[in-house]
Structure 1
Amino acid sequence: MANPAFSNSPAFAAGAKAVDYSKPISAEELDAMYGRPSATPVDTDRMSYEDTIVKTLVAFGVLLATAVVGWFVPLLMIPGAIAGLVLALVNIFKKQPSRGLILAYAAAEGLFVGGVSNFFATGFGFDIVPQAVFGTLGIVGVTLVLFLNGKVRTSPRMTKIFMVGMIGYAVFSLINFGLVAFGATESIFGLRDVNPIISIGLGILIVLLAAYSLVMDFENVKTGVERGAPRIFGWQAAFGIMVTVVWLYVEILRLIAIFQSSD
């Protein structure tokens, strides 16, 4: 899987099987079962789309609340980033999702997002933040609509291409970070700001990678619901979607800043 937030959870595994509830029952028990109202996913403690959406909105609500704090106290960006990384790793490798740890990650990531937004707004103009926000919402919205209409789906071939692109992008980012950290480039964006071709190419690559990652996230949610995953895994789905959306937002923010600095 592309998103590590889902890869360690058996509820979203490709080989997972639906729960078998079949048991020998008597005629009286069968009659009583038919007389009961239909059980909802809440009654059976199973994942549902509605419950997962609520959990995702709650997580993003926490992120936005702490993002306001990070905006007014930009120095919290650094501890937020460190705490977010640690909590992300904990949530990724934890077999059973934890609502508290996922909301703690959302709070830490909010501090980072608010601080980094303030940093870019101060250096490149305050209009850069709403541009990045609406750009992110636009990509997420279009991807979700296309997914719901069955227009986009993952495939083994596309996933392999996606993984190659992600590995290449990760290697490039690591090298670029080293060049910036050691002062090998004049621009704070490093090789991303060498020429417009590289900037545009990276921008297109990031959007495509993020959009495909979102499709994979949505399919993981669909898989969890259809296979009757425990309701608690709705929090894991919310965490995975948040990881992708935050990454997309920061990359769009940086891309807009590069274009503005090159004018």
Structure 2
Amino acid sequence: MAFGGNPVFANNKNFSNKPPQFQGAPPQLYPQGYPGAPTQGGYAQTGYAQPGQQYSPEQLQQMYNQPPASQSQMGRMSFDDVIIKTVATLALVIVGAAIGWFVPALMIPGAIVGLVLGLVNSFKREPSKILILSYALFEGFFLGGFSGFLEKLYSGIVIQAVLGTLIVFALTLVLYRSGKFRATPKMTRFFMIALGGYALFSLVNFGIMLFGGMAGNPWGMRSIHIFGIPLGVIIGIVAIGLAAFSLILDFTSIDQGVKNGLPAKYSWSAAFGLTVTLVWLYVEILRLLAILRGND
């Protein structure tokens, strides 16, 4: 489960509102062959005029027309990098889910290892590609087993949950890109309080289910009816809203990371944050649909 945005972005000192400064940087910090990179003597080897050299107007115009270096060329985080790495992690989740679907015994180990790796990656200051991809695979094992179990009970529920996840993601992205919805400090504080309450409820409910405190209720306290409505429906709607806001925090973190010129390795942190949130969103939608269909 995602606990709001990507903690690597929030905790890392590299994330600040001050744009990166490249002036006076030593030659080794520039990518090889980058126009304007200073040599040990302090001047560019290629791309710009050096003291004592004469250039024709055509040569100067050609140098002026050279395109600026991209974020990737400068070894900086870019939106393309984040998209590629997110696709890679989600693809591994799908592969793990396919395996878990046919080998349900992997569901519990996948859930435990996935939770541990998720916590490790969340609090690790430097992103680890191997740990992030491992998280995606084991989380896939859990999703495959859980989805396969519910699909046998309620035919077609997995497709419905996948479509629901895609719709929420698309709507959230459109709202964010339009500038109509932003993560203000006040909303973020409210989100963290609500998320803490949800996490506490989930922990208590899991303990009740684990020790059989509510026999005959497959979802624990979520099966309790309040004014004829299962508590799980109310909690599920709130959780989906929290997951959607978590996506807004992820988008904000990625925007800040690209604008502030973070090193390219933090694209893995962004991909991890998005993957965690999307997995959480899918599980909440799947469980909500199961409660609704089981209540028919």
TM-score between the two structures when normalised by the length of structure 2: 0.82
Instruction: Specify the SS of the correspondent of 1:199.
Output: helix
Deviation digits for residues 55-113 of structure 1 (CA, Å, limit 9, x no counterpart):
10011111111110110101111111122122212212222111121111111111111
Q: Distance in 1 between matches of 2:116 and 2:129?
A: 16
Q: What residue number does 1:205 align with?
A: 238
Q: CA deviation at 1:222?
A: 0.4
List alignment gaps of at least 5 residues for structure 1: none
Q: What residue number does 1:159 align with?
A: 188
Q: What residue number does 1:98 align with?
A: 128
* AA partner of residue 253 (structure 1): L
Q: What residue number does 1:232 align with?
A: 265
State whether residues 6 and 12 of structure 1, in contact with CA within 8 Å, keep that contact through their aligned partners in structure 2. Answer: no
Query: Structure 1 residues 193-202 or 51-60, which shifts more?
Result: 193-202
Instruction: Specify the SS of the correspondent of 1:31.
Output: coil
In the alignment of these two chains, the number of paired residues is: 261
Q: CA deviation at 1:4?
A: 5.0
Q: CA deviation at 1:3?
A: 3.2
RMSD: 2.3
Q: What residue number does 2:21 align with?
A: 20
Q: What residue number does 1:247 align with?
A: 280
| From 20, 31, 48, the counterpart of 2:48 | 31
Q: CA deviation at 1:23?
A: 2.6
1:67 equivalent to 2:84? Answer: no
Q: What residue number does 1:219 align with?
A: 252
Where in structure 2 are the equivalents of 1:110-189 lying within 5 Å? Answer: 110-122=140-152, 124-185=153-214, 186-189=216-219
State whether residues 8 and 122 of structure 2, in contact with CA within 8 Å, keep that contact through their aligned partners in structure 1. Answer: yes
The structure richer in helix per residue is 1
State whether residues 5 and 239 of structure 1, in contact with CA within 8 Å, keep that contact through their aligned partners in structure 2. Answer: no
Q: What residue number does 2:57 align with?
A: none
Q: Distance in 2 between matches of 1:44 and 1:82?
A: 39
Q: Distance in 1 between matches of 2:6 and 2:255?
A: 17
Q: What residue number does 1:6 align with?
A: 8
State whether residues 143 and 215 of structure 1, in contact with CA within 8 Å, keep that contact through their aligned partners in structure 2. Answer: yes
Deviation digits for residues 9-54 of structure 1 (CA, Å, limit 9, x no counterpart):
51674x4533211239899649349835411111101011111101
Q: Distance in 2 between matches of 1:58 and 1:11?
A: 27
Q: CA deviation at 1:126?
A: 2.6
Query: Who wins on radius of gyration, i.e. which is larger?
Result: 2
Q: Distance in 2 between matches of 1:151 and 1:119?
A: 39
Q: Distance in 2 between matches of 1:9 and 1:84?
A: 22
Q: Distance in 2 between matches of 1:238 and 1:168?
A: 26
State whether residues 8 and 95 of structure 1, in contact with CA within 8 Å, keep that contact through their aligned partners in structure 2. Answer: no
Q: CA deviation at 1:149?
A: 1.2
* AA partner of residue 98 (structure 1): S
Q: 1:221 to 1:82 in 2, by over 3 A?
A: same
* AA partner of residue 103 (structure 1): L
Q: Distance in 2 between matches of 1:11 and 1:44?
A: 20
Q: Distance in 2 between matches of 1:28 and 1:183?
A: 73
Q: 1:22 to 1:207 in 2, by over 3 A?
A: same
Q: Distance in 1 between matches of 2:213 and 2:5?
A: 32
Q: Distance in 1 between matches of 2:246 and 2:210?
A: 29
Instruction: Specify the SS of the correspondent of 2:48.
Output: helix
State whether residues 6 and 270 of structure 2, in contact with CA within 8 Å, keep that contact through their aligned partners in structure 1. Answer: no
Query: Structure 1 residues 174-183 or 252-261, which shifts more?
Result: 174-183
* AA partner of residue 121 (structure 1): E
* AA partner of residue 94 (structure 2): L
Q: CA deviation at 1:8?
A: 5.9
Q: Distance in 2 between matches of 1:127 and 1:81?
A: 23
| From 123, 128, 138, the counterpart of 1:108 | 138
State whether residues 97 and 236 of structure 1, in contact with CA within 8 Å, keep that contact through their aligned partners in structure 2. Answer: yes
